[in-house]
Amino acid sequence: MRKLFSAILFGTLAAGAGQATAADLPVKAPPPVAAVSSWTGLYLGVEAGAQWADPNMTTNCLGLIGTFCTPGGARINNPVNGAGNPIPNTFFVDASSPHKFDILAARVGAYAGYNYQFAPNWLIGIEGDLAFAWQPDNRKSVAGIVGCAINCLGVAGPGIDSTSVQMLWDTAIRARLGYLATPDVLLYVAGGFAMQAVSLTLRCGPLAANPWCVANRSGTDGSILPGWTVGGGVEYKYNRNWILRGEYRYSEFDRFNSLIFQATNDDVFSSTKWRTHIATVGISYLFNMGAAGVVAKY
């Protein structure tokens, strides 16, 4: 009995010691959930890159507006065609119309916007920008007046006449939708309303030496064209507040209807369709006060 009692007592004490030892072991805590800095907030930035354009210019009418033709290109006091539409005034316009220019310019500007991060890997926002284009010769030119540069009025061209187009400044307001591929890498698309400032310059000499103009003339017409833009890019955020970006966008604008040398008998009425491509890099500062606490899964 004494041996049995000793065995029971020893077993009880050993079991108690084992339970105490297990209770004293530390419980492994789950790994902390990392909080990443938020993209929500106002940002301001600068950008630089290149802008391409391919304005397509069509000369609709050459001659005194209201006497020989109308701005729409219809001849005065001439019959209509079978569909009842005025017959276009193509007598003076030669095969040099239409003409597509090819413009490449440097582009620098600034932008500002606001981001809101949600869900939690998604981002929506709005952004506006203003930029200026610069070309080496400040404009793109072609010899002759477009529409009167080959053989116009029986006179071979182009002579010393010239036609020049130019991109000036552009601006846009765009909505953005982005996805966070990692806490610091944003892929986004953007689109909205855009405006492009453009100009058209014509120079021509006296009729004796050139196809068009009865006197030496130089005239410029400009406009701010409304349109739309769409594009996308990638952004990288570092040190919580600085954001680097690379972006491409395409824009298309309303036609630029121009009348130069009005009421001189050398009137030139034209219509130019503008489209642009923009590729830029930029850097901005995000005013989110270094906020943290947005938890995202990647």
Q: Confirm if 43 and 49 have CB atoms less than 8 A apart.
A: no
Site of tokens 């490449």? 104
Residue 169 lies in a domain: yes
Residue 159 lies in a domain: yes
Residue 268 lies in a domain: yes
SS (H, E, C) the chain: CHHHHHHHHHHHHHHHHHHHHHHHCCCCCCCCCCCEECCCEEEEEEEEEEEEECCEEEEEEECCECCCECCCCEECCCCECCCCCECECCCCCCCCCCEECCEEEEEEEEEEEEEEEECCCEEEEEEEEEEEEECCCCCEEEECECCECCEECCEECCCCCEEEEEEEEEEEEEEEEEEEEECCEEEEEEEEEEEEEEEEEEEECCCCCCCCCCCCEEEEEEEEEEEEEEEEEEEEEECCCEEEEEEEEEEEECCEEEEECCCCCCCEEEEEECEEEEEEEEEEEEECCCCEEECCCC
Residue 6 lies in a domain: no
- Domain that residue 281 falls in: 37-294
Residue 144 lies in a domain: yes
Least confident of 27-31, 123-127, 203-207, 283-287: 27-31
Q: Which residue has the higher pLDDT, 177 or 266?
A: 177
Residue 4's pLDDT is what? 45
State the pTM of this model: 0.78
Least confident of 120-124, 137-141, 186-190, 275-279: 137-141
What is the band of 292 on the pLDDT scale with cuts at 50, 70, 90?
low
Residue 27's pLDDT is what? 55
Residue 13's pLDDT is what? 44
Q: Does the pLDDT at position 78 exceed 70?
A: no
Residue 182 lies in a domain: yes
Residue 99's pLDDT is what? 92
Residue 5's pLDDT is what? 44
What is the band of 9 on the pLDDT scale with cuts at 50, 70, 90?
very low
Residue 17 lies in a domain: no
Residue 164 sits in a domain whose CATH number is 2.40.160.20
Residue 112 lies in a domain: yes
Dist. CA 121–CA 178, nearest whole Å: 8
Q: Pick from 51, 26, 185, 29: which is nearest to 109 by CA?
A: 51
Number of domains in the chain: 1
18-52 per-position pLDDT tens digit: 554 444 555 565 555 455 679 999 999 999 999 99
